[in-house]
Amino acid sequence: MTATAISGKSASETAAGGGGERPAHRDPNVLRWLGAYTASMFGDGVFFVALGFAAAKVAPPGQVGMVMAVGAVPRAALMLGGGVIADRFGPRRVVIGSDAVRCLLILGAAAALALASPGLWLLIAVALLFGVVDALFMPAVGALPPRLVTPDQLTRLQGMRALAVRSATIVGPPLGGIAMSLGGASIAFALAGCLFAISVPLLMTTRIGGLPAPAPREAGAEAGTGAWRDLVDGLRYLRRHPLVGPLVLSGALNELGLIGPLNVGLILLTQERGWGSPGYGWIVAAFGAGAATSALLLTVKGRVPRAGAVQIATLFAGSAAIGLIAAMPLLIAAVALALLAGLICGICGGLAFALIQSATAPAYLGRVTSVMSLTGFGLAPLAYPLIGLAIAAFGSAPVFLASTALGMLGGLVGLLTPALRTAELPS
């Protein structure tokens, strides 16, 4: 019997001091973590705006794109290793340490920009180092939610997390722009560093639950404690898990298909249609508002019946809505469809995260999260130039529709997976 079965309590309840009876949105410990996560996401938004505008002042457009994309290289190369480190040393220790390093790195860059006028080399170095630290931070922060709440509260917590992300997406870039206009890149970098500094003490005061019991090594795994064997063991765990593995594969295919059109394709689409930057802003804002609404719904609802079937259905519907944005002849129609797409995709993503984190053995959470993050933050950005070339050659509508077809392959994986079709969240 496992430790959970013997005690009658989940590990999250035991580690959090019996907080299982308290909903996530009323738990002070969860709210401290949410505050830290929100401050960190705001810092990310300010940092990337500051990095882009600082690069634009000292480099031509082609090199600006290089500065913005260079951080994805270490994330792609090191993300899986970050998951191993989070599982070996504990996500709390890793997330606090990496967030503190991000704070010192950005504040150091702010000081350098204030005292001198460094060239492009400084911005490239900062972007590279930030990407390295992100490869540690992302798997660790993703492994924390199941240690903060009981499994029945994971959907609600994912809704709260998504609200934090959407708030940062909406507010962070304007904050960075205001800081740039008031004091230049040094002030904007300093603001980002201060936001990271706010998150560190909040993380340090957040109680994190331990593992319920040592996770058994997968059948066929070699004995040993080496980092490489831990990585292989984690990948083997994903490959053999009847629910988590297919869900991660489904999400990866969906992200590879849709992240490029959303982040690059929309810019080119609005130029192609003559809608300009205001049109782009309206479409992105509508998508963000839809996603924020779905996050709020998940926070209030707490649990969705037949979560696996709903996740598959919303993946198909959300992919179709994104693909059809490029087929809309009028801006108002594209904005309305983006709002609907954000609402559907937000539900899909929240359910996927909750299902994965409730089904994953805690000892593997860091490695599973690293694989999940690898696609969206490491591999997909490397395909941005291909999206641009394809749109230049064939136009926006065919590329959006082809990307939708690729994204829907993730839904096909779900349909072919019985464990996912019938998956339920804990109650």
pTM score > 0.85 for this model? Answer: no
- Does residue 220 register a pLDDT over 70? no
Predicted pLDDT of residue 225: 56
Cβ-count burial 368-402 (b if 16+ within 10 Å, e if not): bbbbbbbbbbbbbbeebeebbebbeeeebbebbee
Can you tell me the mean pLDDT for 195-211?
Answer: 85
Can you tell me the mean pLDDT for 258-287?
Answer: 82
Predicted pLDDT of residue 223: 43
Predicted pLDDT of residue 277: 67
Predicted pLDDT of residue 81: 87
Please tell me the distance from the alpha carbon of residue 152 to that of residue 231, in angstroms, as a whole number: 29
Among residues 255, 343, 336, the alpha carbon closest in space to that of 291 is found at 343
- Does residue 347 register a pLDDT over 60? yes
Task: Report residue 421 CA to chain centroid gap.
Answer: 24
How many other CB atoms are there within 10 angstroms of residue 184's CB atom? 16
Predicted pLDDT of residue 219: 40
Instruction: Give me the domains of the chain, ranges plus CATH numbers.
Output: 22-149+168-204 (1.20.1250.20), 237-421 (1.20.1250.20)
Q: With the CA atoms of 406, 410, 416 and 418 taken in that order, what torsion angle do they form, in degrees rounded to the nearest 10?
A: -170
Predicted pLDDT of residue 348: 93
pLDDT tens digits, 310-326: 999 999 999 999 999 99
- Does residue 269 register a pLDDT over 80? yes
Contact 381, 72 (CB under 8 A): yes
Q: How much is the mean pLDDT over the chain?
A: 82
Residues with Cβ within 8 Å of residue 99, at least 6 apart in sequence: 36, 40, 137, 196, 199, 200, 203
Contact 199, 43 (CB under 8 A): yes
Distances (CA, A) of 346 to 69, 318, 356, 409: 25, 9, 16, 18
Tokens of 290: 């839809």
Can you tell me the mean pLDDT for 352-376?
Answer: 85
- Kindly report which listed range (52-66, 74-88, 131-145) carries the lowest average pLDDT score: 52-66
